[in-house]
């Protein structure tokens, strides 16, 4: 997934204008580690080396995935909170604001830093991935330092004592820290997902050859089609949006969901949590509904009625069927359900 905007249309007023530009930071990454290890018996003799390499790479990616899942979304929320009460995010606070919400403090980054260092030491070596991981950790540390100072300043309401002088001085530092982290997050996300997607495709090819692994195949296929639908929605709302890849991806997602749902209904006592319990299937169905609604919205030129417009302007686009914010929220919920089913 690239960091290009899912939309830049003024009709999406009310949501942060940079929300879709940072779509990579909003999405949680599904952890494939574990399921791939279970497929070792499927490998043919001439593919043992490929399978072993994929297993090793997933072990290496696990630390980076944990960092992204634990921190990227939270930094985005902190930035969104800060920008939400500024009349001009470019100019920063003025001291004349009626409401000052401050921002959200960031989570401790020690585990992430340790995970990045550990991942870099694991084979196979991948200098591009390791460089992106190091930049992620460095910009996260820098962001936490600046955000912590700002959080204390606003939580103590010191802006009432100095007429926002310190707030004005910190604004460029906050913007720079948020922006640097967003760029590093996008870069690491693209590296991780690129490697993960290639491994997933190879895994799907192996699973498809073994009827005994039908459940694993259907789960992995559904997750891959969901991600492809989200990826193909990038640029939605722009005049040059490529409609056909998204249309085909939504159809492929629906087909994958139908195959999964048929198998689930036929095997209600299956040992796989994702098959036996409804949360994963329900989250997949909700995402499918949202992608189909988004496709209809896009075909109709993203027109919203008065009630929907009120919700969008209140930063509640996730409550509007077919709104890109809802698409992202439901994808996050789907991936969370998938990760929970694998624990």
DSSP 6: S
pLDDT at site 343 = 63
| Percent of the chain scoring above 70 in pLDDT | 86
Q: What is the pTM of this model?
A: 0.74
pLDDT at site 301 = 83
Residue 161 has pLDDT above 80, yes or no: yes
Q: Locate 314 and state its tokens.
A: 């209140």
C-alpha to C-alpha distance for 202 and 52, rounded to whole angstroms: 12
What does each C-alpha distance from 120 to 55, 57, 59, 132, 259 come to in angstroms? 16, 11, 11, 10, 39
pLDDT tens-digit map of 78-100: 999 999 999 999 999 999 999 99
116 against 15, higher pLDDT: 116
pLDDT tens-digit map of 50-73: 888 898 999 999 999 989 988 998
pLDDT at site 17 = 30
The residue-averaged pLDDT of 149-166 equals 97
pLDDT tens-digit map of 294-321: 999 888 888 888 898 888 888 788 888 8
Q: How confident is the model at residue 3 (pLDDT cuts 50, 70, 90)?
A: very low
pLDDT at site 115 = 95
pLDDT at site 168 = 97
Q: For the residues of 90-140, what is the DSSP string, one character each?
A: TT---S--S-----PPPPP-HHHHHHHHHHHHSSSP-HHHHHHHHHHHHHH
Q: How confident is the model at residue 329 (pLDDT cuts 50, 70, 90)?
A: confident
Least confident of 52-56, 158-162, 236-240, 281-285: 236-240
pLDDT at site 47 = 58
- Percentages of the chain per state (helix, strand, coil), in multiples of 5: 70, 0, 30
pLDDT at site 310 = 86
Task: Identify which of 37, 23, 184, 179 has the alpha carbon closest to the alpha carbon of residue 116.
Answer: 184
């Amino acid at each position: 997934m690239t960091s290009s905007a899912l939309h830049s249309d003024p009709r999406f007023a009310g949501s942060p204008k940079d929300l879709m530009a940072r779509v990579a930071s909003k999405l949680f990454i599904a952890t494939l580690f574990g399921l791939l290890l279970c497929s070792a018996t499927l490998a043919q003799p001439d593919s043992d080396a490929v399978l072993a390499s994929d297993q090793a790479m997933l072990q290496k990616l696990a630390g980076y995935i944990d960092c992204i899942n634990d921190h990227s979304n939270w930094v985005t929320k902190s930035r969104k909170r800060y920008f939400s009460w500024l009349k001009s995010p470019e100019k920063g606070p003025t001291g004349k604001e009626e409401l000052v919400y401050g921002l959200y403090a960031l989570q401790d980054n020690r585990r992430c830093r340790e995970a990045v260092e550990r991942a870099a030491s694991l084979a196979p070596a991948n200098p591009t991935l390791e460089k992106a991981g190091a930049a992620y950790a460095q910009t996260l540390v820098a962001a936490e330092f600046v955000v912590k100072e700002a959080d204390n300043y606003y939580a103590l309401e010191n802006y009432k004592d100095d007429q926002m002088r310190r707030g004005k001085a910190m604004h460029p530092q906050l913007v720079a820290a948020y922006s640097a982290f967003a760029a590093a997050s996008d870069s690491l996300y693209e590296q991780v997902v690129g490697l993960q997607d290639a491994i997933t495709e190879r895994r799907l090819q192996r699973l498809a050859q073994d009827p005994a692994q039908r459940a694993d195949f259907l789960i992995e296929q559904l997750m891959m089609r969901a991600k492809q639908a989200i990826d193909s929605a990038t640029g939605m709302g722009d005049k040059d949006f490529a409609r056909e890849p998204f249309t085909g991806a939504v159809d492929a997602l629906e087909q994958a969901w139908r195959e999964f749902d048929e198998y689930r209904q036929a095997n209600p006592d299956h040992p796989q949590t994702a098959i036996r319990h409804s949360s994963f299937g329900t989250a997949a169905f909700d995402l499918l509904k949202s992608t189909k609604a988004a496709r209809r919205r896009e075909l109709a030129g993203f027109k919203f009625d008065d009630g929907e417009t009120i919700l969008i302007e209140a930063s509640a686009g996730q409550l509007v069927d077919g709104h890109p914010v809802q698409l992202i929220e439901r994808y996050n919920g789907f991936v969370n359900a998938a990760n929970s089913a694998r624990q």
